[in-house]
Structure 1
């Protein structure tokens, strides 16, 4: 189908939208200011806030200090590192290239980035966009490799990490796991296809057309950025600096102001009204291979906030905390950029939105589990004692059932203990969890599992190693993938892991599985050879799985 020339222009170009300012009633203006009154100070960091209503900026103000060293206040023109809020600009770049016919969502990323290892399964552009690729998240992986949080994390560091990855955390398309790495890979795709740097492409195709003159992706951490807010965290004596030298463009490292981001949001909503496919595509939900929805795509999270569709993203790096929260079909957007590590952007944005949309929120009806309303019964003590034991919810997470003072008690690993109310001879209600647990027996009548939130939680025997056996785990371990070496030794009867740059950390036995320990790096699962000798371990964390270390 041939599209009209005007519509083609809308697809290919960003419309420059003048940012109009409207005046709010004094009472509403004061209510917004009250939300941020804690940060309206001269002795601490703060935030910049913009509210866009019906394509106009109706509120724009700075609170607190951009520089405590030089007594510079935060203004709407103050520049912040917007951290992961950057991802939507990468999402736009990819959506634009797809619409231009230069790439496709189903393309194998190795078509453009042949240095990426082939893991036996194809990783597509869509997988990167939706955080379903299985690639390891670079912050955890690089810190495990020896990087310190206060030093340079560069784009090239991340690319080298990907090239060295030995296996995926999971098969692409089967799970959702937030991965900054995927968006750095997308930036590399933009560079490969366009033939120019990512910072140059975004400047020419986004920031200059929209007049976002204080915005740009940082690919050189030594560049001087004018009007930059410094990054701080609370300390026992006030506030301290959090240094950052990040050039992870694509996933992060966009520096901008609330003034500039207001132009982006106004244009975004205009393009949605015009049904521009580049932007409409950014609002589509992702899909797993089993067709389950993923509420993330093109650098945006889609959700329903009290009955109203919301498109948003938060960000956090060093002491920067940021958000763009957009209600496109209500013509309301809230932009908050802060340089204080204790700032909660989601809560503040929600409070601002409530001032404008309180009459439109839909009352969320609370759904009561029918088990809760069943009459509580007295559980036979002999039967109750059959339920006592440990049940494996997942690696590193046990549910322990005890019988105390005539009641079954439940306690998850590293959590408080809570009572259960017996609702039948096999089901208890745990008010603290807002859910029931049902004990399941096998054919012989032995309790073998708990059914909890539609999960079958198997009964296990907790691992309780004798500290006298810890010497078998000591030694030097090396990861070829991370080019990192750790030493494990004994210290006062406990295992201690050490890295030349990362320092020392104690290992604690985890009762959920044999040879499993917990540490600051995550879960350490020791492996054994055919002779039952310890020959290595695998590290898993929140966004990294099974990184192998072999014993030297």
Structure 2
């Protein structure tokens, strides 16, 4: 069988499978839903959203090039946009505001707070979970302490950890600044289903306990790579608590919310805010119960607020950091730190400020300096973006997890700042020779989700191409030494170390770099021209195979049913079950937990005799049915297939086999002759075929 190793570095639950059906992921972290909710409601949590920037139908208003100025015109712009049927369909409760130079040009609510009472959304009264927009306020709290001289950006974080020593093999500390720029090198730590409390009797975990129960090791050299980092923001909140001597939520309440008059904002779910919270709905239209979070004041994403309160913060931020009383909330230095990019893979493609990020798809700033922060949590999405040079800010929040914010961002930027389009590279740049471009070739794995892959190859004609699990295959054109654009105009930037070796790239996932993986050691019986060399060698490079490289791989050896389930469980992080075995014949199987877990997920059903037959070779059609169920579990909707199958596939497997063929989840063993596809359905799956399937799940279209 394929010997596989589990990795703790990513939460991979169905991420690879989701990549097959999404152009761009909402996030690379999926939270586990409560038992009462469908898995289709397992949405991104505390994660920076990836914005597709698909413009809505044009708004028939005169174009302005100097930014929003007239309140009536701004209100007309918003009303026209949110009156569109395709936009209205994306959320039932929306609150939005636009500010400029200390004035609120528009602050409005659209829709109703819930479908039962039909109470209109009030921009001052209706509360929303703003998810990762919370991180802006956590960073602001850190910057206040920096202003006061109680913290230095260059401090080793261990100074504030009560003697705890960070696990690291690097002779370089993690600093406060690295927490702010998400360049810590930490192993991924994200909130999970355990952070959602639907039962009022459950007691939230204390912030300190949560921090030290889940403290990640440093797995990359600190300061050298960007990876959106929930734990870094959580740790910022704990450090605020340590330094100030005040509970984190109370500190923010006292030193930010109260001075600014943000009376409807809190990091904890108070009874009053719960009463005013807009009702969120799952994709089926069912109300999502009100939930609390654990810890109750989670620095990376538990904040609840209103559009009115966010307008107060944006205006203070954009006009000198002062509260209405004249109290300085943030110094000029702090404001500059939060408005200036400090991490960039390329000067034309920045990563983060202290608290904000670059727009998620570059090339949509229309020549303006823009900083953004977005967030998703179960049932709610938000986005804030600021144009500091224009003293202008926009905030939107709503009660679904759709791309409504994309519509507003695109319409706003094109309507008010349409005078200049972004470009990449130098106009007269001369691309390097093929011998120089060869250094970019290789396999790259996303730091947040290693199942999001990019494969860079150099063609015989000297052209670089990329295969990416999210965007497919594209040609690359070099526009600077380490900067390329693909054939759709999207940028791809590389990073090199001091020795000139390529270490990272940034492409389809704007909130994380992808690391260049080491070359495969190979196997004696898998030469480079073997028809299955690519998937086998790449899986080995990714660390998903632990077969001894000095021994034959035995590519034609058949795979048992138990081995197949184990392979998928490892690759997709399908959780093993600790429940008693439901099948009578898996008690002694080394894959008992994986098989039981697959049963509980609905991936397998077993035989009509109550057995699973884990040691029997799995047929190719059986494997297809299991893959089709996983795809369905991930939310993939199969379209009507035009595949004509050769005789030999059982009727119960035909639909699944066609789905696997349509999605190219196979290797060269599948052949087509005279328009008829032979899947060889009754044959036992072997190791090389399983390797092809596994790699295709990671890198669709390969």
Q: Same fold (TM over 0.5)?
A: yes
Superposition pairs of residues 401-480 of structure 1, within 5 angstroms = 412=467, 431=487, 460-463=533-536, 466-468=557-559, 471=562
- Compute the displacement of 1:65 (Å): 1.6
Contact (CA 8 Å) 2:266, 2:303: kept in 1 or not? yes
CA distance in 1, matches of 2:203, 2:427: 47
Change (3 A) 1:115 1:354: farther
Partner of 2:387: 327
Q: Does 1:90 align with 2:138?
A: yes
Q: Is 1:282 aligned with 2:338?
A: yes
- Residues 520-552 of structure 1 deviation map (CA, whole Å, 9 limit, x = unaligned): 99xxxxxxxxxxxxxxxxxxxxxxxxxxxxxxx
Aligned pairs for 1:90-489 within 5 A: 90-114=138-162, 116-120=164-168, 121=170, 122-139=173-190, 142=192, 156=206, 159-160=209-210, 162-165=212-215, 167-218=217-268, 225-235=274-284, 238-241=285-288, 244-246=291-293, 247=296, 249-271=298-320, 276-287=332-343, 295-302=351-358, 305-358=365-418, 361-365=419-423, 392=443, 394=445, 397=453, 412=467, 431=487, 460-463=533-536, 466-468=557-559, 471=562, 486=577
Aligned residues: 441
Contact 1:132 1:288 in 2 (8 A): no
Give the whole-Å Cα distance in 1 for the aligned partners of 2:84 and 2:592: 44
* Contact map agreement 1:184 1:251 (CA 8 A) in 2: yes
User: Structure 1 171/475 Cα, relative in aligned 2: closer, same or farther at 3 Å?
Assistant: same
Aligned equivalents of 1:400, 1:130: Cα separation in 2: 27
> What is the CA-CA distance between 1:53 and the residue it aligns to?
2.1
1:67 corresponds to 2:118: no
Distance 1:233 1:271, change over 3 A: same
| Alpha-carbon distance in structure 2 between the residues aligned to 1:75 and 1:203 | 22
SS of match in other structure, 2:375: strand
Q: Does structure 2 conserve the Cα–Cα contact (< 8 Å) formed by 1:233 and 1:240?
A: yes
**Normalising to structure 1: TM-score of the pair?**
0.64
User: 1:255: Cα distance to partner?
Assistant: 0.9
| 8 A contact 1:65–1:74 mirrored in 2 | yes
Residue 82 of structure 2 corresponds to which residue in structure 1?
36
Q: Is the Cα–Cα contact under 8 Å of residues 134 and 303 in structure 2 kept in the other structure?
A: yes
Q: Name the SS for the 1:301 alignment partner.
A: coil
**2:123 alignment partner, one of 66, 70, 76:** 76
Quote the Cα distance in structure 2 between the aligned partners of 1:417 and 1:23.
42
| CA-CA distance at 1:139 after TM superposition | 3.1
- Evaluate the alpha carbon distance shift between residue 412 and residue 56 of structure 1 in structure 2; reply closer, same or farther with a 3 A threshold: same
* Counterparts in 2 of 1:349 and 1:160: CA distance versus 1, 3 Å: same
Q: Is the 8 A contact 1:86 1:253 kept in 2?
A: yes
SS at match of 1:308: coil
Structure 1 residue 124: deviation in Å? 1.8
Asked if structure 2 preserves the Cα contact closer than 8 Å seen for 1:53 and 1:333, the reply is: yes
- Secondary structure, in 3 states, of the residue corresponding to 2:99? strand
**1:6-32, CA deviations, whole angstroms, 9 ceiling, x for partnerless residues?**
xxxxxxxxxxxxxxxx99465553222
Q: 1:176 to 1:150 in 2, by over 3 A?
A: farther
**Distance in 2 of aligned mates of 1:277 and 1:301:** 18
Q: CA deviation at 1:398?
A: 7.4
| Structure 2 match to 1:17 | none
For the 8 Å contact 2:71–2:105, the answer to whether it is kept is no
Mapped to 1, the partners of 2:577 and 2:486 lie a distance apart of 42
Q: Deviations over 1:37-58 (max 9, x none)?
A: 2478799612111111232111
Query: How far 1:168 sits from its partner (Å)?
Result: 3.0
Structure 2 residue ranges without an equivalent (≥5): 1-67, 323-327, 432-440, 477-484, 493-505, 508-514, 520-527, 537-554, 605-617, 619-626, 635-702
Query: Is the 2:382–2:396 Cα contact (8 Å) retained in structure 1?
Result: yes
Please give the secondary structure, in 2, of the residue aligned with 1:324. strand
Distance of 2:129 and 2:313 partners within structure 1: 16
Report the CA distance shift for 1:261/1:471 in structure 2 as closer, same or farther (over 3 A): closer
Taking the aligned partners of 2:464 and 2:416, their CA distance within structure 1 comes to: 45
Deviation at 1:282, TM superposition (A): 1.9
**CA displacement at 1:69 relative to structure 2:** 3.0
Deviation at 1:259, TM superposition (A): 0.6
8 Å CA contact retained: 1:83, 1:253: yes
- Summarize the Cα distance change of 1:290–1:343 in structure 2 as closer, same or farther, 3 Å threshold: closer
CA root-mean-square deviation: 5.4
The 1:346–1:150 alpha-carbon spacing in structure 2 relative to 1, beyond 3 Å, is farther
What does residue 654 of structure 2 align with? none
Bigger share in strand: 1
Aligned twin of 1:48: 95
